[in-house]
Amino acid sequence: MGRQYRKHGARARLGVIPVVAAVGLLGALGVATPQAGAQTASISKSELAKLKTIVADAKKAPKWVAPGPAVNGTAALKGKTIVTFPISSNIDACNTKGQQGYFQAEAEKLGAKVISLPTANPGGPPTWISNLNQAVNDRASAVVMLCGPTAAAISNELSTVQSHHIPVVDGNYNQTGGSKAFPLTGLSAESGVDTNGGITDDLADALVNLKGKPAHVLFLDSTDVAQDQGAANTLKADINKWCPGTCTVTNTGPFTSADWATKEQSPIATALQGNANINTVIVTFDGMSDDIISDVEAAQKSHPGLKIYAWGGGIAEIHDVNSNPVFAADAGPDERWDAYNQLDQVIRLLSGKKAEPVAKEIAPNMFFTKSNAATFYNGNNYSDKAYSNGAFIKDFQRLWEVG
């Protein structure tokens, strides 16, 4: 999700780049780190066949399912003001190129006035607070926060917004692994993404590509991403299920979003140079992958089978999967689908109805690999080809009684 971060990120802020040692997730993940001469035992043929089925199923375009009963979108939104802002404007999946843009375009068709606010670089809570205050001053009818801004950091402002009876939807926010940094207090609704399913698909694909040999994973994590702990927990669970005692994990990070373009490369290169057994790089958020591709490519000759697997589903990364042999797969939602789920939440709330639970308002996971990536994008936008020429958009519009 987001080569845009690299273009506008902190690359110009030169300084001493600390080397973060690769530390085994013995506590966080509960699996061993790779050692010299690590086991090369293969998983069973029957288990490998199951993994191939998981990967094949994940690569299919999902079917649309109505999150709830029909509701008139025009009646709900006509004349209403909706304020939106992303966790960071530098992440293209979240800004006006991604969810924010898709949300605005459809909401305005239904008669709403949408104020799409930016989140400055480096942004973070100060900008989120300013944007929430502006929503109150603008007498907004609703607020949509995109890609999971941390509710704990803006709890006072959320209480203020709530006191003005302004519903707040936090998009792309679930599967936080129980982290107290991401509470639901002060939120009226949330939409979700299947991070856990994406990590499962990544590991399954890695084991298939390794022909059943154990995956020795270099895991990049970022505590700025709401789904980070959930991703780590899923990786641990899947390793314990499929290859306990043979697959291993080395952790590099955590990296904040401000680090992605400036501080990742040195520790990634150090970890790869220090351990020739690493054959899989899994990235908890694909926007982190943009600046490490060349380092992973450089290590391929000395690391047999080495490839990158990510979660996020960003357009730039889907391009990379299609064109770059080292980028094997990117799991994640089509950001349009996520934006439409957020809009559905807003429509229901402004119709005086309860928002549907996140289990229903979830953007289905897709698995972009070299065999299907070209089907899902068209230039710098998502392709409708994978969904029978945009069927899910038409289905949402019918749900909102459009036309």
The total of structural domains in the chain comes to 2
User: Are 316 and 216 found together in one domain?
Assistant: yes
CB atoms closer than 10 angstroms to residue 251: 24
The phi, psi pair for 153, rounded to 5°, reads -80, -10
User: Are 135 and 210 found together in one domain?
Assistant: no
CB atoms closer than 10 angstroms to residue 78: 13
Query: Whole-angstrom Cα distance, residue 146 to residue 136?
Result: 18
User: Are 311 and 339 found together in one domain?
Assistant: no
Residue 27: closest CA among 242, 276, 232:
232
Query: Whole-angstrom Cα distance, residue 75 to residue 276?
Result: 61
**Domain carrying residue 77:** 73-192+334-360+373-399
User: Are 325 and 204 found together in one domain?
Assistant: yes
User: Are 268 and 206 found together in one domain?
Assistant: yes
Query: Whole-angstrom Cα distance, residue 351 to residue 222?
Result: 37
Instruction: Encode 142-186 in three state secondary structure.
Output: EEEEECCCCHHHHHHHHHHHHHCCCCEEECCCCCCCCCCCCCCCC
The tens place of each residue's pLDDT in the chain, 403 residues long, gives 544 333 333 222 222 223 333 343 333 444 554 454 444 567 889 999 999 999 999 999 888 899 999 999 999 999 999 999 998 887 788 899 889 999 999 999 999 999 999 987 667 899 999 999 999 999 999 999 998 888 888 999 999 999 999 999 999 877 666 667 777 788 999 998 888 999 999 999 999 999 999 999 999 988 777 788 889 999 999 999 999 999 999 988 888 777 777 788 888 888 999 999 999 999 988 888 888 899 999 999 999 999 999 998 888 899 999 999 999 999 998 888 999 999 999 999 999 999 999 889 999 888 999 999 998 888 888 887 888 767 888 999 999 998 6
Query: Whole-angstrom Cα distance, residue 383 to residue 362?
Result: 20
Q: What is the CA radius of gyration of the chain?
A: 21
Query: Whole-angstrom Cα distance, residue 139 to residue 258?
Result: 32
Is the residue at 68 inside a domain?
Answer: no
Structure tokens at 192: 């979700």
Structure tokens at 83: 């304020």
Dihedral over Cα of 283, 287, 288, 289: its sign: positive
Query: Whole-angstrom Cα distance, residue 109 to residue 402?
Result: 10
User: Are 258 and 306 found together in one domain?
Assistant: yes
The side-by-side arrangement of strands in the sheet containing 366-369 is 23-24, 248-252, 216-220, 280-283, 307-311, 327-332, 366-369
Structure tokens at 352: 């005086």
Query: Whole-angstrom Cα distance, residue 147 to residue 198?
Result: 16
Query: Whole-angstrom Cα distance, residue 145 to residue 131?
Result: 10
- Prior bond to 254 cis, omega within 30? yes
Query: Whole-angstrom Cα distance, residue 96 to residue 103?
Result: 9
User: Are 117 and 160 found together in one domain?
Assistant: yes
Structure tokens at 333: 């939602």
CATH number of the domain bearing residue 184 = 3.40.50.2300
User: Are 90 and 130 found together in one domain?
Assistant: yes
User: Are 95 and 171 found together in one domain?
Assistant: yes
CB atoms closer than 10 angstroms to residue 302: 11
User: Are 131 and 237 found together in one domain?
Assistant: no
User: Are 306 and 390 found together in one domain?
Assistant: no
CA distance to 10, 136, 185, 187, 244, per residue, from 129 (Å): 22, 11, 16, 14, 45
Is the residue at 298 inside a domain?
Answer: yes
User: Are 176 and 297 found together in one domain?
Assistant: no
Is the residue at 380 inside a domain?
Answer: yes
Query: Whole-angstrom Cα distance, residue 283 to residue 219?
Result: 6
Structure tokens at 55: 């990967």
